[in-house]
Structure 1
Amino acid sequence: MAPVIFGLPFSEFTWSKFGNANMWNNVYHLRRTKFIVYQLAMIFCVVSESLGTDALSRFVSQQKYIESHGGPGASEYNNDYVGVASYNIFAGIYVATIFGGAFFFDLIWPERHEDHGVRLGWKLSAIAGIFIHLASCIAMTVIVATKNAYVTGLSTADGNRLVMENGKTPLDYRHSARIVTSVVFGWIGWIFVIASTVILVVGKTHDEKVGPWSTHVREAKKNNIDVESNFVSGHASEKPLTNPLTGEQPEALHPNRPEAAHVHEPTRVQEASAETSNHHSFDSSAPPVNPAHV
């Protein structure tokens, strides 16, 4: 028997939950909208984080190269970008954790029970994500637009020569395509973080008041429509609830339908044969007629 952890039955964790029929149905409130917007927020933020991390590693590698080839005291100052890129990594991971978790739990356990405190925690965490990622976007934009790395302990000519030899990344942050793209993707991701937060807050409020189902599913449940076993192509069927043991419909759910009238087909009368129906038939018992006597 599959375990139940924190009220979540692991028996419901099946590969079919990741199929299109389950992921994109409209049984649950805002299900399609959630999954699209959540994924866009995660994708843009993670791409921004990844590009920034790549640029960060290039600066660290270039700094080591200058220190090893430039002699004593030679180094590269890039602490401002390294610091803000590190914070951008944290912001991207935070967004992916919050909305990735919301995506996963809504996909596998959409009808799970959550206390008011848990729902409040989801809302506050999502709202915090707006400000965490906004701070990252602002800091990245300011530093990339106004700052640059530089070589210390060497003349300008020697420093530029070592940078060119290493060829990892330019000292001016604005001239790095990776860094600029990281900033742009960060702002786009922040827009989708706001949208995801609004959807999450609205969804949690809806779940707490009327449950996780869409309006048409709630109406179907009120009319005793078995939307769970009779769900076809995203819409509830017209089949009423059935007895799970016998498969019969309960009498209470049967509308008073008149019985179909029995139509009696008329009985066919076999037609008489040609010999019996013909009154002018030839009598074989009569004596033959001589034509000469006629």
Structure 2
Amino acid sequence: MAEMQWGKFKGSYMFNQVYHLRKTKMIVYQIAMIFMVCSESVGTAALSDYVDQQDGIQTRYGLHTENNDIVGIFAYNIFVGIAVATIFGSGFFFDLFWPERHESHQVKLAWKICSVIMCLLTLADAIGLTVIVATGRATIDGLSNSEAQRYFNLNGIPAPVYRKNAYCVASTVLCWIGMVGTYASTYIMWKSLAHNDAHGPMAAAYRNKGEEASVESRTSPNDVLPAAPEPVHAHAPAQTTTGHPVEPAPEMSQRTV
């Protein structure tokens, strides 16, 4: 838990090149998460409007509105958005806080399986949204579209024709972008896991530098230099063989004539 620090959200750390594919993962994972969550959020607004449409027309006029197709696909879109954010959001935070973590084979396999499942879910979501929004519309049981339009106008938003609802169109477009981000994230995740198995998490440039520094830091015991000899002081008194210092001879004073 000590590795979870706010400072790691700085761009200088988040997008550094020390770890293999780190910058790419940080960007691509966020694209998948952000666009799928945005599609989910916009879709939730549209879903709420169409549920209110059912209740409003049923309450005021006693008529049953049929728009379960758009309600169902947006409910599925919410599930997919949460799933993508869970998988790639987890990958994002694990790589941000613990880039040098050790993972077992089972954990790596789980990452791969979950990422592939996310690809299938987002593809189904994008195709389903596109087909329903492009071709579908809300109807009222027992009435033609022209007759039902009168009640839709009295009820107000949302538009019964799904492609004329800006929320529906925006959610679909965001879902397609999020789907592309999910596929890219899956590819990057698989590539990163393969690199970690072969070389570890460090980028090649920094991994080589680390090895060179490690080699340079190792020295052989035979390489130790001999100690320098102690300097001899000129003012030290000479020693005799007996170990007693020799007294200096007194200087002869000169007599002045």
Partner of 1:108: 97
CA distance in 2, matches of 1:220, 1:157: 74
Name structure 1 gaps, 5 residues minimum: 1-9, 227-239, 242-249, 257-294
Counterpart amino acid of 1:96? Answer: A
Instruction: Pick the structure with more helix per residue.
Output: 2
Task: Within 5 Å, give how 1:199-218 maps onto structure 2.
Answer: 199-218=188-207
Partner of 2:151: 162
Name structure 2 gaps, 5 residues minimum: 225-257
- CA offsets 1:176-232 (integer angstroms, 9 cap, x no match): 111011111111111111111000000011112111000011101111269xxxxxx
The alignment-based identity, stated in percent, is 45
SS class of match (2:65): strand
Partner of 1:139: 128
The correspondence for 2:211, drawn from 222, 242, 247, is 222
Between the two structures, name the one with larger relative contact order (CA 8 Å, sep ≥ 6): 2
Partner of 1:44: 35
Counterpart amino acid of 2:56? Answer: Y
CA distance in 1, matches of 2:101, 2:144: 65
* Runs of 4 or more consecutive aligned structure 1 residues displaced over 2 Å after TM superposition: 152-162
SS class of match (1:213): coil
Task: Within 5 Å, give how 1:188-203 maps onto structure 2.
Answer: 188-203=177-192
Taking only aligned residues, the RMSD between alpha carbons, in angstroms, comes to 2.3
TM-score w.r.t. structure 1 length? 0.71
Q: Do residues 12 (structure 1) and 3 (structure 2) align?
A: yes
**Corresponding residue pairs, total:** 223
CA contact (8 A) 1:44 1:189 kept: yes
CA distance in 2, matches of 1:130, 1:145: 22
CA contact (8 A) 1:70 1:154 kept: no
Partner of 1:63: 54
CA distance in 2, matches of 1:162, 1:105: 52
The correspondence for 1:149, drawn from 132, 138, 150, is 138
CA distance in 1, matches of 2:134, 2:193: 39
Partner of 1:23: 14
CA contact (8 A) 1:110 1:212 kept: yes
Query: 1:51 Cα shift?
Result: 1.4
Counterpart amino acid of 1:94? Answer: A
Single out whichever of 107-116 and 140-149 deviates more from structure 2. 140-149
Partner of 1:244: none
- CA offsets 1:112-152 (integer angstroms, 9 cap, x no match): 11011111110111111111110111111111122211123
